[in-house]
Amino acid sequence: MTESAGDGARLPDDCFALPPGVDWTPVDQALDRLRSSLRVVAGTETCPITEATGRILAEHVSARRANPPAANAAVDGYAFCWEGAARPLSLIEGRAAAGHPFAGRVRPGQAVRILTGAQIPDGADTVVLQEDCRIDAGTIDFPLPKKQGANVRPAGEDAQTGEKLFDAGHRIGAADLARLSSTGISEIRVRRALRVAVLSTGDELIAPGADGPGIPDANRPMLIALARAFGCEVVDLGIAQDDAGTVRARFDQAAREADAMITTGGASTGDEDHVSHLLNTEGTVTDWRIAVKPGRPLALGMWRGVPVFGLPGNPVAAFVCALIFVRPALALMAGAGWLAPQRFTIPAAFEKSKKPGRREYLRARLRDGRAEVFASEGSGRIGGLSWAEGLVDLPEAAAEIRPGDPVSYLPFSSFGL
Ligand code: AMP
Ligand code: MG
């Protein structure tokens, strides 16, 4: 792979600054501001299409050749010239098969054997299905197909030479590899994968699997998996104690090795909230008080030119904030453009009296065409994340939701999961 540098300059330190007087920010405003603060930072490289699944196009791609390159048969049968075909026709020697064109010309009054995928011979324009033919002593009879060109795939019907296939920013999927191959493309210019550093902070945290007192680090395995699902390469920064020196050293490592950083814990304004404290004193931070549940403050900051997504320590809140805020931001930085999850309006299978003022995301799943929600809204209930297959998104306004009322459902697949 050939590689080029990134788009150059890093992001400005004040890119997340909130206008004066802004307090609790509604989710949509926060998303708008995030969207307008960030830009593409991922560099570009050339990649063989065999390794391109999941990669993001750095530039648009046009067809190098037409597909199909020449008209060919859509069925097994006989090729002939439709205009003035007076049956029976005389069946000529030879045949056209895929990869083995018929060398001669089919004259008016003649037909030749043809197999699916074979190039239509000169002089022919229509194919009759073999099941519709009666062959007798060198002649062939059949009911005339209604249309000239029946059972023929015209040259370029799928793609014309030079036709634009994909825009820059498109994420390459398996089907796209067929599209690219069929139009003669073996290499594409893609964005380098965004490198994302993931750090858990908290004196109480222990490695998953460790015994003794402490809280196993639930966030880092989850966030590493999310970052990978979002198409990023991960720099695992481990667990940092609630100590300015340790957190600073990890931040510096992230600034050297990554394009963005996701941290959990310590994002609030308490004495031991070192993520926001450090960003406040030595970096730049905007403590975005986003009106979202589950959430609490989200610290968005810059550390030596690298954006820091300081998520709440609570795993449920960290998961929801990663989906709602971090995913579209990383996608934008990675060159895929801002990604809004596809949402579906579904009848509720639950009842809820919602207070006004905050956007709420409930752990949910679809059963029998209705959205059911996890029995507990407790933000400590990690089990509810596993139980769920998506989120129900309730707007800021107060609402009395009853079974059958329409609600907005975001399946996890809408977040690329
Ligand atoms: P904090 O945001 O640091 O105030 O943490 C909020 C809550 O989340 C506390 O109960 C923490 O113990 C818990 N917590 C923080 N980080 C993690 C983590 N990586 N895994 C599991 N729980 C965590
Ligand atoms: Mg903490």
**φ, ψ at 194 (rounded to 5°):** -65, 135
Q: Which residue out of 226, 264, 275, 385 has the highest number of ligand 1 atoms within 8 Å of its CB and is therefore the one to mutate?
A: 264
Provide the percentage of residues in the chain whose pLDDT is more than 70: 95
> Contact at 8 Å (CB) between 16 and 286?
yes
Question: What is the pLDDT, as a whole number, of residue 102?
Answer: 98
Mean of the per-residue pLDDT values of the chain: 93
Q: Across residues 213-217, what is the average pLDDT?
A: 96
Is pLDDT above 70 for 122?
Answer: yes
- Counting residues of the chain whose pLDDT is more than 90, the rounded percentage is 82
Q: How far is the CA of 264 from the centre of ligand 2 (A)?
A: 8
The Å distance, Cα 237 to ligand 2 centre, comes to: 16
pLDDT in tens, 347-405: 999 999 999 889 999 999 999 999 999 999 988 899 999 999 999 999 999 999 999 99
Residue 42 has pLDDT above 60, yes or no: yes
Q: Whose atoms come closest to the Cα of 316: which ligand?
A: 1
| Amino acid letter, 28 | D
Whether 314 lines ligand 1, by a CB cut-off of 6 Å, is yes
Binding site membership of 45 for ligand 1 (Cβ less than 6 Å): no
pLDDT, tens digit, 9 for 90 and up, residues 229-262: 999 999 999 999 999 999 999 999 999 999 999 9
Is the CB of 202 within 6 Å of ligand 1? yes
pLDDT, tens only, 156-192: 999 999 999 999 999 999 999 999 999 999 999 999 9
Residue 20 pLDDT exceeds 60: no
Ligand approaching nearest to the C-alpha of 203: 2
1: confidence class by pLDDT, cuts 50, 70, 90: very low
Does residue 345 have a pLDDT over 90? yes
- Provide mean pLDDT across the span 267-271: 83
Ion ligand 2 neighbours (CB, 5 A) are 202, 265-266, 313
Ligand number nearest CA of 239 is 1
pLDDT(127) > 50: yes
- Which atom of ligand 1 is the closest one to the Cα of 242? 3
Pocket flag, ligand 1, residue 266 (CB < 6 Å): yes
264 pocket-lining for ligand 1 (C-beta < 6 Å): yes
State if residue 317 touches ligand 1 by the CB under 6 angstroms criterion. Answer: no
Lowest mean pLDDT among 89-98, 129-138, 278-287: 278-287
- The whole-number average pLDDT for the span 183-208 is 97
317 Cα to the center of ligand 1, angstroms:
10
Q: Whose CA is nearest to atom 3 of ligand 1?
A: 265
pLDDT given for residue 4 in this prediction: 46
